[in-house]
Amino acid sequence: MATTVLDHALIKHKLTIMRDKNTSTYIFKQNLDEIAKLMAYEVTRNVPIRDKVIETPVCQMVGKEIDQQIVLVPILRAGIGLVDGFRDIIPTAKIGHIGMYRDEETLIPHEYYARFPSGLENSLVIVVDPMLATGGSASMAIQNIKERGAKNILLVCLVGAPEGVALIEKEHPDVNITLAALDEKLNEHGYIVPGLGDAGDRLFGTD
């Protein structure tokens, strides 16, 4: 599979606004919604479609409709911030949730919450999280989703670090990754550089 970094002027413009430390919570969320819509458009480009016979005001015709259930799975908590934009573009998408926390001593991620719609095995499952840093939480989330039957999984993140991308590519070579930006590195605290800080805190206005 592949890692794709979207080369889009609007995404670059809006992501720059989000990166600015002086951007308010409201403007941060607004731009996150807008980038999510643009990313949703890109990652669903090749979703299976089928014929559908309809009547226009002029005549009958054969149109197209999506032929696969789409399930969005935000990684709690920051992943929730991408859901609204995706659902604006894909209103029929179902939503699952998976919560991961990282042991502060071992740095190993653990699942603390999971709830999914039925039919994962036949669905396109889009896992969303603003940041792909070490990749540990995303990798475990993907593994846990696979264990519940999912076979077709995409990972969509706003900003990624090379370390996180490398881990997902190694542990889940069958999962395509889509990023709005691939940044330089992780710092000693595990933050993406230059990044945008803690996406959850900036999204929800917490410290």
| pLDDT tens digits for range 135-152 | 999 999 999 999 999 999
Asked whether 85 and 37 are in contact (CB, 8 A), the reply is: yes
| pLDDT bucket at 100, cuts 50 / 70 / 90 | confident
* Torsions phi, psi for 112 (to 5 deg): -120, -10
Asked whether 170 and 3 are in contact (CB, 8 A), the reply is: no
Q: For the chain, list the domains and their CATH numbers.
A: 3-204 (3.40.50.2020)
201 is catalytic: yes
State the pLDDT at residue 1: 65
Say which of 20, 84, 174, 201 is annotated catalytic. Answer: 201
16 is catalytic: no
Per-residue pLDDT at 108 exceeds 90: no
Say which of 19, 77, 87, 102 is annotated catalytic. Answer: 102
Say which of 45, 56, 106, 207 is annotated catalytic. Answer: 106
| pLDDT tens digits for range 110-123 | 889 999 999 999 99
Structural Rg of the chain based on CA atoms? 18
- What's the whole-number mean pLDDT along residues 41-58? 96
- Per-residue b/e over 106-130, b at no fewer than 16 CB within 10 Å? eeebeeeebebeeebeebbbbbbbb
Say which of 198, 202, 206, 207 is annotated catalytic. Answer: 198
4 is catalytic: no
d(CA 59, CA 143): 48
Of residues 101 and 184, the one with the higher pLDDT is: 184
| pLDDT bucket at 107, cuts 50 / 70 / 90 | low
129: nearest Cα among 190, 171, 166, 81 = 81
State the pLDDT at residue 88: 95
7 is catalytic: no
